[in-house]
């Protein structure tokens, strides 16, 4: 488990405290939490296109790409790609956002923000032969003549993940065969816990960032925040999906009624890793905190078998953790970081 909690000071004058438990002690797989990175980078690309050569381009513009046309009929919009990727964690939508940002463009934008740990090495839920460096031709329809983005080949060199913990488990399944050695995540996506939270801070509370913030127009930023705060159940998924997509919320609402809460978050889970990255505000008092947490569950030690204790262990643990932090911040804001530990 890794946990980072950050509490803004009164009057938005920096931080009252930022502290955590085992923050970035080892590698964790970010799963769908990485979709926030892709959404921010794609919306920065839209803002830049509007300012440079497409003055009428907005988030409502239609989106068509060579790869997307193979998966869906009709024309998507940039806005509904962002909403689908963030609210209901749609993999195809997030892959389209990666294509829109471009392999090099995404990394350059994140590194400009000081988020040097970001590594997007692969799309989500695609064959292992897929190459995220290659992006297809894209057309954005903001008027009678589309804005065309030519196919691109990424040149940024990422190397391998080399931090501790990058080999996970005791054995793993590969092509249906049991391999008696840990599963390597050297070539998987990566972002540090600190950078994941700092990106959420830059989007939701840029005045607290103390550094570079995303170059987003007001509509782009509003779309992001609206998507981060929406509940999956409000977009057609079951009510149980709310706890699965926003596991910290299930515990926080034991402290503050949901009607008084604003929770902007993007979580994810895969390979036994569960992550939530949240900005929590109590509307009754205006108090708030950021909390980013991950834990790994894999009792049998075998990776890639889809037998992980998400419901039994991970979701209850994160809910309890959310309750603990919410009580310390909202009920007793004088609680010190040492007491919280």
Per-domain residue ranges of the chain = 2-154+168-340
Question: Which residues, given as ranges, of the chain have pLDDT below 50?
Answer: 69, 336-338
Residue 314 backbone dihedrals phi, psi, to 5 degrees: -65, -55
- For residue range 284-337, list pLDDT tens digits in order: 999 999 999 999 999 999 999 999 999 999 999 999 999 999 999 999 755 544
Hey, what's the torsion of the CAs at 205, 208, 213, 218, to 10 degrees? 30
Q: Report if pTM > 0.85.
A: yes
Task: Identify the pLDDT of residue 10.
Answer: 82
Contacts of residue 234, Cβ cutoff 8 Å, sequence gap at least 6: none
Q: What gap in Å lies between CA 118 and CA 197, rounded to an integer? A: 12
Hey, what's the torsion of the CAs at 132, 206, 163, 85, to 10 degrees? -40
Task: Supply 327's token pair.
Answer: 């009580």
Task: Identify the pLDDT of residue 337.
Answer: 47
Task: Supply 272's token pair.
Answer: 């036994």
DSSP 182: P
- For residue range 128-161, list pLDDT tens digits in order: 778 899 999 999 998 888 999 999 999 999 999 9
Residue 143: CB atoms within 10 A of its CB come to 12
Pick the CATH number of 2-154+168-340 from 1.25.40.10, 3.60.21.10, 3.40.50.2000, 3.40.710.10: 3.40.710.10
Task: Supply 132's token pair.
Answer: 């995220």
């Amino acid at each position: 488990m890794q946990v980072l909690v950050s509490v803004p000071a009164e009057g938005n004058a920096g931080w009252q405290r930022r502290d955590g438990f085992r923050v970035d002690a080892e590698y964790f797989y970010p799963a769908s939490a990485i979709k926030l990175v892709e959404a921010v980078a794609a919306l920065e690309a839209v803002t830049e296109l509007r300012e440079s050569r497409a003055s009428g381009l907005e988030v409502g513009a239609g989106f068509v790409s060579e790869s997307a046309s193979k998966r869906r009929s009709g024309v998507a919009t940039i806005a509904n790609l962002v909403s689908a990727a963030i609210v209901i964690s749609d993999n195809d939508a997030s892959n389209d956002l990666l294509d829109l940002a471009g392999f090099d463009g995404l990394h350059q934008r994140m590194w400009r923000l000081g988020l040097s740990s970001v590594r997007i090495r692969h799309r989500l839920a695609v064959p292992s032969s897929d190459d995220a460096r290659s992006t297809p031709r894209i057309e954005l329809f903001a008027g009678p003549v589309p804005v065309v983005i030519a196919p691109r080949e990424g040149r940024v060199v990422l190397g391998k993940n080399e931090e501790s913990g990058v080999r996970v488990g005791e054995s793993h399944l590969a092509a249906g065969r049991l391999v008696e050695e840990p599963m390597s995540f050297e070539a998987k996506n990566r972002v540090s816990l600190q950078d994941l939270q700092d990106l959420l801070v830059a989007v939701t509370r840029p005045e607290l960032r103390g550094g570079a913030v995303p170059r987003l127009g007001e509509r782009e930023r509003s779309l992001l925040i609206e998507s981060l705060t929406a509940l999956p159940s409000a977009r057609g998924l079951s009510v149980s999906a709310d706890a699965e997509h926003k596991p910290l919320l299930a515990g926080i609402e034991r402290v503050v009624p949901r009607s008084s809460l604003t929770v902007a978050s993007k979580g994810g889970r895969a390979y036994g890793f569960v992550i939530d990255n949240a900005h929590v505000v109590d509307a009754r008092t205006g108090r708030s905190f950021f909390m980013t947490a991950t834990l790994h569950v894999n009792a049998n030690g075998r990776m890639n078998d889809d037998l992980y204790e998400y419901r039994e262990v991970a979701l209850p643990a994160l809910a309890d953790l959310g309750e603990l932090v919410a009580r310390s911040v909202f009920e007793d804001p004088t609680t010190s970081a040492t007491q919280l530990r």
